[in-house]
């Protein structure tokens, strides 16, 4: 699952990765989300395993732009990464917390956060985020091919 908005700079990393993986893995079960909480929770239900890719604010998370952090959804450090809230003030972190309280989290749930620097109202990823996204697509394609 990828989360993001292609019209908000580096927040578009999720849709970018979704498009690349859709081309590379036509048989994979991929889901794209804009980060709306009820849609996220609905997507979590019925999954045994879920990998979620989203952008985080590099400065707010204390990371360099283009850094990639992988965490289990049950890891308390997930709250410190700073997954961006949607325009509705709730986002991935809140959806995970709510799904946890409802007993709706997948058994295996990994969050991959890519640190971005630009979240303004324009399309296109910064160079550091594009490089990280392309590396991640290669890694995920290889992983899926070996799964």
Q: Is the pLDDT of residue 147 over 90?
A: no
Write down the mean pLDDT value for the chain: 88
The helix/strand/coil state of 135 is helix
Superfamily designation of domain 2-146 = HybD-like (3.40.50.1450)
pLDDT at position 84 is 54
Kind and range of the H or E run holding 96? helix 92-101
CB 51 within 8 A of CB 106: no
Q: How far apart are CA 91 and CA 20, in angstroms?
A: 23
Selection from 72, 35, 51, 74 nearest residue 137 by Cα: 51
List, for residues 51-109, the tens digit of each pLDDT value.
999 999 988 888 999 999 999 988 887 776 766 544 445 678 888 888 989 988 999 99
């Amino acid at each position: 699952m990828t989360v993001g908005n292609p019209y908000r700079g580096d927040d578009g990393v999720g849709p970018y990765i979704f498009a690349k993986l859709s081309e590379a893995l036509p048989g994979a079960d991929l889901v794209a989300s804009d980060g709306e909480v009820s849609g996220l929770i609905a997507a979590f239900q019925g999954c045994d395993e879920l990998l979620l890719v989203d952008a985080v604010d590099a400065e707010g998370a204390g990371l360099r732009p283009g850094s990639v952090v992988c965490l289990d959804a049950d890891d308390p450090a997930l709250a410190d990464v700073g997954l961006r809230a949607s325009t509705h003030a709730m986002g991935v972190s809140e959806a995970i917390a709510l799904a946890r309280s409802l007993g709706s989290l997948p058994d295996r749930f990994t969050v991959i956060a890519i640190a971005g620097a630009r979240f303004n109202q324009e399309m296109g990823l910064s160079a550091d985020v594009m490089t990280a996204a392309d590396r991640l697509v290669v890694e995920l394609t290889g992983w899926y091919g070996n799964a």
